[in-house]
Amino acid sequence: MHIAVVGAGLAGVTAARALHEGGHAVQLFDKSRGVGGRMSTRRTSWTPDAQREHALAFDHGAPSFTATDPAFAGFIQDAATFGWVAPWAPRMAPASRAETATRWVANPDMPALCRRLAGELPLHRSATVTGLARVAGGGWQVLVDQVAHPGTFDRVVLAMPPAQAAALLQAHAPTWAMAAREVAMTPCWTVMAVFHQAAPEWDAAAPSTGPIAWAARQGSQPGRDAPDNDDNTATASDTQNWVIQASAAWSAQHLEDDAATVSAALLQAFQALPGLAAAEVQWQTSHRWRYSVPRNAPWAGECTAWTDDALGLGVCGDWLGGVGVEGAWLSAQALADAWCDADPAAPGHCHPSPAMFEAA
């Protein structure tokens, strides 16, 4: 079958890879210039003087992830063997929320895991899918910016936030569209900043109160660049790159505030954390994620993906498979299993194989 996968975040590329390994021809579409979705890294630069430009990178989407499901944990262990991901054990700030599961990050940036899974699969970038059209006799056309993409598809997978999926489903699967609209996605304001004298004796903070949900020193994560200092030594006076993410409740309360107001409030809260009284902001920018994580995932663990063979439609995402990176992967695998032979010993079974890692 020829299958279109709309959305190239982790759910989309996982589904595309598994379907490809199951013998299907796959075409990825994404509105962005690359893959990754919320597994995102912002790359920019900072010029503190007229003589030297500093390259900056911030993992401003999903900062890390855990692997608790046995199937996903097995995939991550394979990925770690090939250097795709690495464990991260940050030193936590005092009074942070307790954590027990191992955190993982993709190397050398968060979208790298999605890039490796997408591999050589056809990818149509900067392609905003605005509609789906039924083809006489069966099949689908994908409309990109209201224009039909060349060719037709036997099936279409929607791997995107529920509100966006609902808009494409409404004309063809209104019951699914209504169900998708019941899922609320929480927003997240994120500030990326360069600080002077911001070198506390910890790498990350997860305060239990206040506007900040998570703050992390970028250079503490495996595979990330060390602070950009002339002498390449770590001292209390180094500039440090930090990602500061607001809580879902605070982000919702301030969703429509202007970026400057939001940044000022979060930077002030950050500087009030232990050991940061002397931290000075050298450079900063912000990003508003309207669709961060699902607030309610009523089908998680029960119906982790939606498929309709007769209609030729499938839907996957973390709002079906469970919150976060792991949930996105589980949902995509469930969809691929539904459209491939469910017997692991049968030819064409869809789970990513070790050969996939070696070939990437």
What's the pLDDT tens digit per position in 60-108? 999 999 999 999 999 999 999 999 999 999 999 998 988 778 999 999 9
Pairing of strands 2-6, 25-29: parallel
For residue 191, give both structure tokens: 């500030």
Q: Average pLDDT for residues 121-139, to the nearest whole number?
A: 94
Q: Tell me what pLDDT residue 256 has.
A: 96
Higher-confidence residue of 169 and 53: namely 169
Q: Tell me what pLDDT residue 236 has.
A: 37
131, pLDDT greater than 90: yes
Answer yes or no: is 203 within a domain. Answer: yes
CB count in 10 Å sphere of residue 24: 19
- For residues 201 and 170, state if they share a domain: no
Q: Tell me what pLDDT residue 303 has.
A: 72
- List, for residues 9-34, the tens digit of each pLDDT value: 999 999 999 999 999 999 999 999 98
Q: Which one of 266, 294, 322 terminates a domain?
A: 294
CATH code, domain with 204: 3.90.660.10
- Tell me if 188 sits within 8 A of 198, measured CB to CB: no
Number of separate domains in the chain: 2
Say which amino acid occupies 235: T
233, pLDDT greater than 90: no
CATH code, domain with 150: 3.50.50.60
CB count in 10 Å sphere of residue 294: 23
Higher-confidence residue of 16 and 278: namely 16
Answer yes or no: is 86 within a domain. Answer: no
Pick from 356, 339, 357, 358: nearest CA to 23 = 339
- For residues 202 and 135, state if they share a domain: no
- For residues 124 and 169, state if they share a domain: yes
Average pLDDT of the chain?
88
Q: Which one of 294, 313, 329 terminates a domain?
A: 294
Answer yes or no: is 53 within a domain. Answer: yes
Euclidean distance between CA atoms 93 and 273, whole angstroms: 8
- For residues 174 and 302, state if they share a domain: yes
Helical packing angle, 324-339 and 70-81, nearest 10° = 100
Euclidean distance between CA atoms 122 and 19, whole angstroms: 13
Pairing of strands 306-308, 313-316: antiparallel
Q: Average pLDDT for residues 124-148, to the nearest whole number?
A: 94
Residues 241-264 as b/e (b if ≥16 CB within 10 A, e otherwise) read bbbbbbbbebbeebeeeeeeebbe
Q: Average pLDDT for residues 261-271, to the nearest whole number?
A: 96
- For residues 118 and 133, state if they share a domain: yes
Answer yes or no: is 30 within a domain. Answer: yes
- List, for residues 283-334, the tens digit of each pLDDT value: 999 999 998 888 766 555 567 899 999 999 999 999 998 888 999 999 999 9
Structural domain that includes position 31: 2-39+113-183+296-359
Answer yes or no: is 285 within a domain. Answer: yes
177, pLDDT greater than 60: yes
- For residues 190 and 290, state if they share a domain: yes
Question: Which uninterrupted H or E stretch holds 28?
Answer: strand 25-29
- For residues 199 and 329, state if they share a domain: no
- For residues 305 and 344, state if they share a domain: yes
Answer yes or no: is 91 within a domain. Answer: no
- For residues 132 and 57, state if they share a domain: no
- For residues 212 and 152, state if they share a domain: no
Q: Which one of 271, 294, 317 terminates a domain?
A: 294
Pick from 187, 193, 196, 165: nearest CA to 178 = 165
